[in-house]
Every structure is written in C-alpha cells, then in structure tokens.
Amino acid sequence: MLFVLCYSLFASRVWAFDVGLMLDQNAYYSGVESDTAFAYKGVAIPRLSGLMGNIGEFYISAGINYQYDPWNFVPELLRTELSWSGSGVELSLGRMSYSDPLGYIASGLLDGGRFSLHTKAGSLSVGAWYTGFIYKKRINIEMTYDEKESNNTAFDYDNFFGSYFAPRRALIALDWEHQGLGERVFARLSLLGQIDLTDAKLNSQYTIGKMIVPFRIFAVTFGGCFELIENSENMDMAFATELELSWKTAFQGLSLLARYSSAKSDSLVAFLPVTTNKQGQILAAKLSGLSMASLDYTARLHRTFTFGLTSSYFLLSNFNNASDIISGNLLGAEFFGAFYWNPLPDISVNLGGGAFLPSLGNITPDGKIFWKVELNLVLSLF
C-alpha cells in the first residue's frame, strides 16, 4: 500500500510538468553564379515547463547549436522564464522574448523583467532588460562597425568571453496595446530606450507606433518610428516607416509591403535599429539607409501543403527626388519561393530557393547573380 501511494504521488508530480525536445535542421546550397558552397547548421532544444500553484508557471529551455564546415558546437541558454498572473496583472522574470511593434528595431531574447497591466482600455507593460549575457548570434546587435565585425566572427572556445557574448546594452520599454480599438482596430505604441554600457556610449531612443485596420478579407497596416541617436559628440535624428496592404482568404493570401528607413542627409542620419533583422531571404540587408518593396503570395494547395512566392526590390534611401533614384540608387530585385509541408503538428519540412539580381538595378548593373537553395526540417520529438 505504501508503495502504491508513493508511486501515485510521484506519477502525479511528473505529469504536472511538460518535457520536450525540438530539433531544427537547416541545409543551404548557395553561390554567386558558378562559385558554390554548402552549409549545414542545426540546434537541439530541450525544454521543461510547468505550473507553480494556481497563479505561476515556469519555462526552461537550452540549446546546442552545431554547424558543418568546420564542425562547431555552441551551447546557449534559451527562454528561461518565471511568470505570475492574476486579477489583470502579470509579472515575468528571466530570459524572455520581446519585440517592438514593427519587429525590426529590438526583438529577440532578453534578460530582465516585465510587468503588465490588462484593462478594458488596453494592456500596459513596462520592462527592463540587459543583453550582455546572451549568445551574440541569437540577438544580432550590430549598432557599430566593431559590433558588426565581432558578430560575424566565429565563436572560439579558446577566447570564450571575447567571442561568445552580445554587446553590453540595457533596454527599457513602455508598451501599450489594444486588440480591438473601436471594436476593430489593433493598435500598439512603444517608447523604447537603449543605453550603451560599453566605451562607445552610443545611446538611442525610439517612439514607435503600429495600427492594423481590417476590412473583411482586406487589411491595412501602417507604422513608423522616430529615433534619437545620442553619442559623445551630438544628438541626431532618424526615422523609419512602413505600409502594408493585404488580402487573405481561407486558401490564398496576397500582400504588398513597403518600408523606408532614413539615410544620411542635411537633417537626418541613417536609421539605426538595436538588433539586426535582415531584409530579404537572399540579400539579407540591414534596414539602415535602405528602402524596399515586396509582393508576397501564399496559396494553400492541400491540408498539409502551402506554397509561397515573394518578389522584393531594394534601393538606397539617400535620394531627394526621382532623378536621384534614376542616377544610381537601385540595388536590384530578389525572387524567392518555398513549399511548406506539415504532415503532422510535430513535423515541418520547408524547401525554398531564390536569387538576387543586381542587374535589375543601376548601382552594379554588371553584378553577378546571388542564389540560394535551402531545406529546413523541424521535429518535436516529445
């Protein structure tokens, strides 16, 4: 009887937790015309989550990154978060995900805390985070030239502390979000401050807004950001904006997206995000002094198959009128297509490929074609 009781208690405790393992595998074959290269990288992510009484929960995950040519293994601590909620309030502490309203200014895993208050007038949250303990490739901070060089340098166990961690920066954010403003409009506003804790002392502040207005199967999305950049010499201004028109049914979707980020001029400087979120699948450019327009089409061919096709055009933002664009600001066009297969909820296989054509621009009209084919496999084992 004692054995049965102990077994029952142990079993109930084990089943109170959720344990899982995800494998994310990626293979790439790319090149510049006939100059080709193969790359393989993946990550194994074990996780553990569970409840803490009636108001709390925890989530712990880690990762082992591995890649070929040369073989390299990089460990990292991923989302590791404690959260409590009740009576319209929520508190989270640990390593958590954060994203600004536009998604390309400051996004990724951050160490710190966030307090949220949920009311009928919307959700208000305040958070503070630090970036210096995170693996640099996970967050991709490249605000200065030295940070870009460091981020593109391979991790070396012989120089662990000098090659592993992201730049030391502090982030403070005040966010307001409403899911149904006027019973139909999604709106989000953010005040974001970034404090440089290195010797460079490059600080920045962002005022960000985004709205999504639906019209049955259509939607209009527009957003923008005004930035103040503070360094040891002066205070500069920059901005970025975007507009998206989308149409979506149960089987098809079409969207037109345009983004603009300021470049250096008499009154402005190049827009400078905290984290680098690449624009384009092939070109993979930073949204700083860059503008782009893309047309994206998706079709659900079967219950488990989806097809997507995207065409994008990129140009430099340092122009004042149409004649400046014609004289030499066009980078070129990118085309990318992909098939997505989800036979089971725990299995995802994606096959995609495309090319960037600088010959469709006027900066390097004789430039060679960049191309890439990629295969992604995601398995959730348990």
How far is the C-alpha of 135 from the C-alpha of 64, rounded, in Å?
12
153 with 145: CB under 8 angstroms? no
Taking residues 119-136, what's their average pLDDT?
A: 96
Please, which residues have CB within 8 angstroms of residue 66's CB and are 6 or more apart in sequence?
Answer: 41, 42, 43, 44, 72, 73, 74
Cα dihedral 217, 119, 116, 172, rounded to 10, equals: 80
What is the CA angle 190-191-197, rounded to 5?
A: 130
- Answer whether residue 10 shows pLDDT above 60: no
* pLDDT over 90 (residue 5): no
Average pLDDT over the chain, rounded to an integer: 91
Q: Is the pLDDT of residue 185 over 60?
A: yes
- The pLDDT value recorded for residue 326 is 61
Report whether pLDDT(372) > 50.
yes
What's the average model confidence in pLDDT over 348-356?
A: 97
pLDDT tens for residues 140-164?
Answer: 999 999 999 999 999 999 999 999 9
What's the pLDDT at 13? 44
- Measured CA to CA, the distance from residue 379 to residue 349 in angstroms comes to 9
Predicted local distance difference test score (pLDDT) of residue 327: 64
- From 249, 244, 189, 242, select the one nearest 219 (Cα to Cα): 244
Q: How confident is the model at residue 69 (pLDDT cuts 50, 70, 90)?
A: confident
What is the mean predicted confidence (pLDDT) over 58-76?
92
The Cα 140–Cα 128 span in angstroms is: 19
Q: What does the pLDDT look like over 284-341, one tens digit per residue?
A: 999 999 999 999 999 999 999 999 999 999 999 987 666 666 666 899 999 999 999 9
| β-pairing verdict for 72-86 and 17-32 | unpaired
Beta partners for 376?
26, 350
Question: Rounded CA gap, 187 and 185, in Å?
Answer: 6
CA distances from 335 to 27, 119, 244, 368 (A): 19, 44, 19, 15
pLDDT for residue 33 is more than 70: yes
Mean pLDDT of 80-89: 94
- Would you list the domain boundaries of the chain? 87-277
| Residue 155 DSSP symbol | P
Q: What is the pLDDT of residue 204?
A: 97
Gyration radius (Cα) of the chain, Å: 23
CB atoms within 10 A of CB 322: 8
- Element counts in the chain: helices (H) and strands (E): 5, 18
Q: Where are the alpha helices (DSSP H) in 41-168?
A: 136-139, 145-151, 160-163
Determine if the pTM surpasses 0.75: yes
Paired residues of 65 in beta bridges? 43, 74
For residue 191, pLDDT over 80 is answered with yes
